[in-house]
Amino acid sequence: MLEKGWNPKLPQGSLRKELVEIHPTAASFKDMLEKSRKHAVRCMQDSFAYAKDKWDKSHATPDFKVGDLVLVSITNFNNIKGCINLKDSFARPFGIKALDGENAVEV
């Protein structure tokens, strides 16, 4: 084999299995790294499942139907005259005319 500098991935065919001896410390270090990697993967999967469960509990899709009465929030309306703190937070109940997806309705 010609010397071409540092080759991080030697071809597996160039190494003879009976000549390669692994030091016990290196083998135990590899086992420790593998165990810690598996533990980290399991912890991340548990964390993702927990976060998904918490998100699903707090973000349930509403079950609106056409004809239901809903209140419209006026916190983002910018055409209200007078003191906003004295105004109601919601406009009067409106009937739903049509459903526009899971969370949007036409009133």
Cite the beta strand spans of the chain per DSSP E: 69-70, 94-95, 98-99, 105-106
| Predicted local distance difference test score (pLDDT) of residue 22 | 75
**How many C-beta atoms lie closer than 10 Å to residue 105's C-beta?**
19
Q: What is the pLDDT of residue 12?
A: 61
Query: pLDDT tens digit string along 44-87?
Result: 999 999 999 999 998 888 888 899 998 888 877 777 777 767 77
pTM (predicted TM-score): 0.46
DSSP state of 15: S
CA 3 and chain centroid, separation: 48
The rounded distance, in Å, linking the Cα atoms of 17 and 20 is: 6
**Average pLDDT score over the chain:** 82
